[in-house]
Amino acid sequence: MKNKVVLFGKEIDNISKLVKEKGFVVVHENPDFVVSYGGDGTVMQSEEKYPGIPKIILRNSRICKLCSPFENSEVLEKVSDGEYITLDYWKLVVEAKHQTLLALNEIIVHNHDARHAIRYKLIVNDRQIGHEVIGDGVVVATPFGSTGYYRSITDSFFEVGIGLAFNNSTERSDHMILKEDAKIELEITRGPAVVFADNQNGQIELNIGDKVTITKSLNFAHIIKV
């Protein structure tokens, strides 16, 4: 029985013929896999649109850390022949103002206006860390996303836990590696600010007094590796 796939990316017409030649059936709903054709950002977008469905990553970008070293045709052949494993990556969930966002890479709390810093209180596992923090915000990353924005701030990455990096704080603030079950809370004491998840279009606007809670989600992304 042939595997059913949904194609996702900006130039999927360029890959459709190859996918069909390798024995897959292209559908628009209820797929067995999602073929993400692009780079790392495309993978994030495909997970947002098709959460939890295994992703076959095909390269259509020079920058794609998640892509296989094999050619796209070889990747499809191996998946079709069952020569692959599925890697499971947990996500973060952010809750604020009765809204939620899920992130495979990171949650970003950032100043809304680049000309003005925000002020916030940071509470980890119900304990406030330091006093009021002044800066551009924070980046809270999974191990999967720690080689992205988090690494550009801290010049480091990690493989276990949740990473918390301070973005342009006025006082020196070291990044933190927390346990996976940590609860991270921010209370905005001067805004406005905004919350992003990965490179998604959705966002949550924040003002003085608004609170943000970030924890490990029960949801996972499933990435196919040949």
Domains of the chain, by residue range, sit at 4-83, 91-218
pLDDT, residue 105, reads: 94
- Check whether domain 91-218 has CATH 2.60.200.30, yes or no: yes
- The CATH homologous superfamily to which domain 4-83 belongs is Probable inorganic polyphosphate/atp-NAD kinase; domain 1 (3.40.50.10330)
Q: Tell me how far apart the alpha carbons of residues 156 and 111 are, in angstroms, rounded to a whole number.
A: 23
DSSP 8-state assignment for residue 45 = H
Residue among 66, 68, 87 nearest 78 (CA): 68
Consecutive H or E run containing 15: helix 13-21
Q: Tell me how far apart the alpha carbons of residues 94 and 152 are, in angstroms, rounded to a whole number.
A: 22
pLDDT, residue 173, reads: 73
Identify the three-state secondary structure at position 72: helix
- Contacts of residue 34, defined as CB under 8 A and 6 or more positions apart, other chains included, come to 5, 6, 8, 46, 50, 53, 54, 55, 56
User: Tokens for 43?
Assistant: 């993978």
Pair type for strands 118-124 and 184-190: antiparallel
pLDDT, residue 67, reads: 85
CA distances from 180 to 16, 165, 212 (A): 39, 15, 17
Same fold for the domain at 4-83 and the one at 91-218?
Answer: no
Q: What is the mean pLDDT of each run of 10 residues along the chain (226 residues)?
A: 91 93 94 94 93 95 82 94 95 97 96 93 94 94 91 91 93 87 97 94 95 97 96
Q: What is the DSSP string of 73-98?
A: HHHHHHHHTT--EEEEEEEEEEEETT
ω into 192 cis (within 30 of 0): yes
